[in-house]
Amino acid sequence: MNTKTLGYILKRVLLALLTILVVITITFFVMHAVPGGPFLGEKAISDAAKAALEAKYGLDKPLFQQYLTYLKDIITEFDFGPSIKQRGREVIDIIVDGMRTSAKLGLAAAAIALAFGTVLGSVAALRRNKFIDRVIMVITTAFVSMPSFIMGMFMLLLFTVKFTIFPANGAEAGGLVLPIIALSLSPMANITRLTRSSMLDVLGQDYIRTAKAKGVSGVKTIFGHALKNALIPVITYFGPMLAYIVTGSLVVEQIFAVPGIGRSFVSSIINRDYTLIMGTTIVLAILIVIMNLVSDILYKVIDPRITLE
Amino acid sequence: MKKKIFSMHLNVDSFLPASAEEKAYMVQMRPSSTFFRDGVKRFIKNKVALVSLIVIVIVVLSCIIIPMFLPYSYDQMLGVQLGKPVDPSYNNLAPFEFGTTEQAKIDAGEDVFPHIFGTDAQGRDYFARILYGTRISLAVGFFASIIVLLIGMTVGSISGYFGGKVDLVIMRIVDIIYSLPDMLLIILLASALKQTNLDEIIRGTILERIGANIISLFIVFGVLYWVSMSRLIRGQILSLREQEYVLASQAAGAKGKWIIFKHLMPNCISVVIISTALQIPSAIFTESYLSFLGLGVNAPMPSLGSLASDALNGINSYPLRLVIPAVVISLIVLSLNLLGDGLRDAFDPKLNG
């Protein structure tokens, strides 16, 4: 690794850290700009009780000092404070709890998207302009622009209402199948298109012709030479894919009643559980930023031909 | 004059003024084609894009024109009439069914306009709600894109025109906003704006008619989505400024105004229009997503996302109410995307990577 690459990585890491800081700052100040405060709501409470509550949560201090405390707690112990609406639970515990299910969901969706996407994309490229290529391209075009929640609703309708193949409740056994498929279709379509175009690009390269000319078998050329290089651009899609899956899972979990982080986020918005909204936004944002960083760096490091700015 | 074969004398005839016949020969036989006409020609050849255009035109026209003639409005509860108890026979009608009083009218020989998609749980004509919801979604998408365009164009051209330190600062800000996870922050902003009393701030102004929620949607779009547009425009201005035809024009004595309007604008505008067109479906998608989460337009105003989200509860009994808005969203988003791609292919061959 040369100094230029190191410099690039350093620059990207710094930008990522700055981005995370900005996210925390925006989240904090936006949520604190909301009029009314967290204790205004269902029950009228006396001024004394309100003051006591505010003192307990440190809300009586100046805003900037609250911000610094919040920032310090996140950085030093990853502590987002207690949930306001769910008594006695820490925000981070709720997030970790939800993450268990959501991580399963997201990872499975990403794996399916990756596996099917690369295979379909390669098939389409190798059979360029044949019938199968046309079919794959038409289907992926439809899937790319279809929002995941629409997809989820169609599947809910088809497989749980019309034909009761899968349970509609994501907490039951087999209940994760539909949400996984709903989340994976659009990234799969994207990966298919990405693989197809980069595969076509690679197949036109000189080294493929050289391999063919020296008598390497077709299978070996495709797997040993073409596919390896064709998959490099797919790495760039990892970041956007994670962002898509995270935002998609917010509604897909709602539709299929999956007890994950997305569902708790949505209900925290409805319940106005401020600390939980902030905590979830920040954790998910950090995840996305890190994934973007990793996929960007991997892409540049793996392919030595790519010039660094 | 006779010419000797090896003579170095030039033929005087070659220097005679051209006759009318010779001039006519030099005139181009076909009319010169403009950039726009070429693009239109390329666009028409693209069947997919043409079909998408037709679909969009049909959708737009029908959601503008049909409500004018429809006897039902989106918020009129048909079972509720002044001075009478609520008539529940109007709630949850299947397509082309009628309520009791309507049935009586039909039996008496009167014409009653059918409820094409039936009615919803509160006895509102679902066809009218779908049309109105489509109108809201399209309008939000369109105006959000315009806002993005205006902010992006202003910032982008300032950055590209001034260059230097201004450019550096703006571009660092753009970098950071660009790497923010936009959807999460949009949800955050939308949920925060929903709690503010925007209603009171805009009361009495022209904005009141649009509604606080849609305005907060616009704010959300305006704050986060302008960055890619401003990057694009800055890049365009920077690269166009260095083009050789600009230099050639300057060498021929062209002044700033001429260069801007004759060279920079026409070359920039197609890229800008295309990316604005591609922004619309993403704005529509975001709006329906937010409405689905309950952060979009206010009830009773429908949007496609909120209609779909409302229908989710009754999915077992009334699946049609979910299918219709879902199909309409997919249709609009898909055909706008295909149209945008088609426009890009037709009008900007350079972008086509």
The size of the A-B interface in CB pairs under 8 A is 114
Interface contact flag, A285 B330, Cβ < 8 Å? no
H/E/C letters for each residue in A160-181? HHHCCCCCCCCCCCCCCHHHHH
CB A250 within 8 A of CB A262: yes
Nearest to A157 among B289, B319, B334 (CB): B319
| Domain-embedded: residue B344 | yes
| Domain-embedded: residue B339 | yes
Rounded Cα distance between A260 and A284, Å, is 13
At A268-287, the pLDDT tens digits run 887 878 888 888 989 988 98
At B5-31, the pLDDT tens digits run 677 777 777 788 888 887 777 776 677
Residue A137 burial class via C-beta count within 10 angstroms: exposed 0-12, middle 13-18, buried 19 and up: middle
Q: For residue B316, give the chain A residue with the closest CA.
A: A161
Q: Taking the CA atoms of A276, A281, A284 and A286 in sequence, report the sign of the dihedral they define.
A: negative
| Domain-embedded: residue B23 | no
Shared domain check, B307 and B258: yes
Shared domain check, B316 and B208: yes
Secondary-structure breakdown of chain B: helix, strand, coil percentages, each rounded to the nearest 5:
70, 0, 30
All residues at 6 or more sequence positions from A185 whose CB lies less than 8 Å from its CB, including other chains: A113, A143, A146, A148, A151
| Domain-embedded: residue B210 | yes
Interface contact flag, A23 B189, Cβ < 8 Å? no
Rounded Cα distance between A85 and B301, Å, is 30
Shared domain check, B215 and B279: yes
At B267-292, the pLDDT tens digits run 788 788 888 888 888 888 888 888 88
Interface contact flag, B288 A266, Cβ < 8 Å? no
Shared domain check, B116 and B181: no
Of the pLDDT bands very low, low, confident and very high (cuts 50, 70, 90), residue A76 is confident
Domain residues for the domain of B84 are 77-123
Neighbours of B251 (CB within 10 A): 9
For B119, the 3-state DSSP assignment is strand
Q: What residues form DSSP beta bridges with A82?
A: A90
Q: For residue B338, give the chain A residue with the closest CA.
A: A141
| Domain-embedded: residue B107 | yes
Q: Please report, to the nearest 10 degrees, the dihedral formed by the alpha carbons of residues B239, B243, B249, B254 taken in order.
A: 20
CB A244 within 8 A of CB B271: no
Secondary-structure breakdown of chain A: helix, strand, coil percentages, each rounded to the nearest 5:
75, 0, 25
| Domain-embedded: residue B228 | yes
pLDDT of residue B54: 94
At A88-120, the pLDDT tens digits run 788 888 888 888 889 989 999 999 999 999 999
pLDDT of residue A309: 47
Shared domain check, B313 and B167: yes
CB B335 within 8 A of CB B167: no
Identify the residue with better confidence: B62 or B115. B62
Shared domain check, B201 and B87: no
Report percent pLDDT > 70 for chain A: 93
Nearest to A157 among B179, B195, B323 (CB): B323
Q: For residue A268, give the chain B residue with the closest CA.
A: B191
Interface contact flag, B338 A22, Cβ < 8 Å? no
* Assembly ipTM: 0.80
| Domain-embedded: residue B34 | no
Rounded Cα distance between A300 and A12, Å, is 11
All residues at 6 or more sequence positions from B298 whose CB lies less than 8 Å from its CB, including other chains: B211, B212, B213
DSSP H/E element including A291: helix A274-302
Shared domain check, B215 and B194: yes
**What is the DSSP secondary structure assignment for residue A186, as one 8-state letter?**
H
Q: For residue B322, give the chain A residue with the closest CA.
A: A153
Place of tokens 């029908």: B62
pLDDT mean across residues, chain B: 81
CB A168 within 8 A of CB A156: yes
pTM exceeds 0.90 for this model = no
**Domains of chain A, each with CATH number or no CATH:** 1-79+276-309 (no CATH), 92-270 (1.10.3720.10)
Shared domain check, B153 and B54: yes
Rounded Cα distance between A155 and A147, Å, is 13
CB B188 within 8 A of CB A274: no
Report the number of distinct structural domains present in chain B: 2
CB B188 within 8 A of CB A281: yes
Nearest to A147 among B180, B185, B289 (CB): B289
Shared domain check, B293 and B211: yes
Radius of gyration of chain B (CA): 29
Would you state the structure tokens that stand for residue B264, as one six-digit string? 């920079």
At B30-52, the pLDDT tens digits run 777 777 788 888 888 888 889 99
Say which CATH number the domain at B304 has: 1.10.3720.10
CB A196 within 8 A of CB A161: no
C-alpha closest to that of A179 among A280, A100, A101: A101
Shared domain check, B212 and B93: no
Contacts A284 to B, Cβ<8 Å: 181, 184
Shared domain check, B328 and B266: yes
| Domain-embedded: residue B343 | yes
Place of tokens 């006396």: A46
Substitution target in A146, A252, A269 with the highest count of B β-carbons within 10 Å is A269
At A181-240, the pLDDT tens digits run 888 998 999 999 999 999 998 888 888 889 889 988 888 888 888 888 888 888 888 888
DSSP H/E element including B236: helix B226-241
Shared domain check, B322 and B222: yes
Contacts B338 to A, Cβ<8 Å: 141
pLDDT of residue A43: 59
All residues at 6 or more sequence positions from B330 whose CB lies less than 8 Å from its CB, including other chains: A145, A146, A147, A150
* Residue B339 reports pLDDT greater than 80: yes
Interface contact flag, B179 A250, Cβ < 8 Å? no
